[in-house]
């Protein structure tokens, strides 16, 4: 990856999807769910976070990990490059990784 992250694109896993990208980090690992707003601009933060949580747990099960990676949602900003995307996670997950 251009920022030096060791990110892995994850294959689609159907009903037991494991997220879009896995990133090991200094303060733990992350499963990223990548999203783009609908054409009408609607963003479903709670739904997307819940999806990322389920997929992080699916990743844990698939890889036989003791702890699930932290779920992140990355939302593409309209008419902007990837570096201008938004990162969303629950406050409890942020505090757990401090």
pLDDT of residue 1: 42
- Residue 97 neighbours by CB distance under 10 Å: 13
Domain annotation covers residue 37? yes
1 assigned to some structural domain: no
**pLDDT score of 68:** 92
Is residue 68 in some structural domain? Answer: yes
pLDDT at 4: 66
End-to-end CA distance of the chain: 24
Residue 66 domain-assigned? Answer: yes
Number of domains in the chain: 1
DSSP annotation of 84 reads: G
Backbone angles phi, psi at 70, to 5 degrees: -70, 130
The DSSP element (H or E) to which 21 belongs, if any, is: strand 21-25
- Look at residue 15 and tell me if it is in a domain: yes
pTM here? Answer: 0.84
Q: Would you state the pLDDT for residue 11?
A: 77
For 72, the domain range is 8-96
Report yes or no on 3 lying in a domain: no
Query: Which residue ranges of the chain lie beneath pLDDT 50?
Result: 1
pLDDT attached to residue 10? 83
Of the candidates 61, 48, 73, 56, the residue with the CA atom closest to the CA atom of residue 18? 56
Domain assignment present for 2: no
The three-point CA angle 61-59-31 to 5° equals 150
Specify if 81 maps to a domain.
yes
């Amino acid at each position: 990856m251009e920022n030096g992250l060791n990110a892995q694109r994850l294959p689609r896993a159907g009903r037991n999807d494991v997220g879009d990208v896995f990133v090991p980090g200094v303060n733990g690992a992350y499963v990223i769910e990548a999203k783009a707003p609908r054409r009408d601009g609607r963003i479903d933060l709670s739904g997307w976070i819940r999806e990322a949580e389920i997929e992080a747990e699916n990743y844990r099960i698939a890889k036989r990990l003791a702890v699930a990676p932290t779920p992140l949602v990355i939302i593409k900003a309209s008419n902007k490059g990837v570096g201008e995307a938004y990162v969303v996670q629950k406050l409890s997950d942020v505090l757990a990784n401090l």
